[in-house]
Chains A and B, each alone.
Chain A
Amino acid sequence: MSAVALPGGISIGAPRRRRTLRELISWAFGEATVVTNKGKAMFADRLRTSPGTFTTSPKFLAMGVGATGAARTAAAGDTALSTEVETRTTGTESTTTTTNTNDTYQVTGSITATAARKVDEAGCFDASSAGNLAFSATHEVDNLASADTITYTWKIKQA
């Protein structure tokens, strides 16, 4: 139960709200960045002269706030974020060099928070909504205030 507010705003008694176990425990989760199974299929398909399935690159960047609550660590089997927030942004693509010349696919883009967000997950999709999740990440919580902007730079290197 929340504190009781009287007319005029003062709280009397302020009974403590009973909290659920989930609220009391900070669920641990892992930080990881992976190429998903869909992403691997995407690489193969898009090498072809005419891709059969994945006709759009995974340049749509998404972020989410649900990985910690879901105790989720990014894994190859991911197909969506736990709790995606905000509108995906269309990233800027390029190839960059990590080890060998142009061996890294890079996509970067910014997303602006429309409310305070505890961002802890991100992904690259091949569509501005729904679509296939090619790369998935769970990362340390980044606390965004409303109007803050987060810029993601994804680098997928061919090993």
Chain B
Amino acid sequence: MRVVVHHPERVEQIESRAGEHLEETIPASVSAYRFGRIEDFVNLDGSTTPKEEVAKILLEQAKEDFPGLEVSIEYLHESEHDAEGEVIGHEWRDHPPEQPVAEGEAHAVELSAEQAQEASA
């Protein structure tokens, strides 16, 4: 989960400069926006603010900081891997992924087939 500031004018530059240092193409005010991947936030009193709430707060903050720009929340779906299995990128979408099953959960599949027998004399 992350907050994204969409800056259409900069997209072309970013795409045309793929592989270069992208910081040069981003206005300082935008590059100062460092929310990154949002996780649950542990407060000073030890309580926890869920990441969904943190995202809402950051979203509102971003709307104030970047008036006129589209601001949205995106959700991490799948990581992309190269042929060697190394992570090379992430797939972010504007809706949550399906609720994954809990780790270590047991699944069961039953498969049945018939082996037909024919006899001849």
Contacts and interface: CB of A to CB of B under 8 A. Distances in A.
Interface residues of B, number: 47
Nearest to B106: A149
26 contacts: A3-B4, A6-B26, A8-B34, A10-B3, A10-B36, A11-B74, A12-B5, A12-B30, A13-B6, A14-B74, A15-B11, A33-B112, A35-B113, A35-B114, A122-B111, A137-B113, A143-B98, A143-B101, A148-B106, A149-B105, A150-B108, A154-B113, A157-B113, A157-B115, A158-B115, A158-B117
Contacts of B4: 3, 10-12, 14
Which among B37, B91, B114 has the greatest number of chain A C-beta atoms within 10 A? B114
B116 interface: yes
Contact of A12 (B26, B74, B108): B26
Interface of B: 2-8, 10-11, 14-15, 18, 22-23, 26, 30-31, 33-37, 74, 80, 89-92, 98, 100-117
A1 B18 CA distance: 9
A97 interface: no
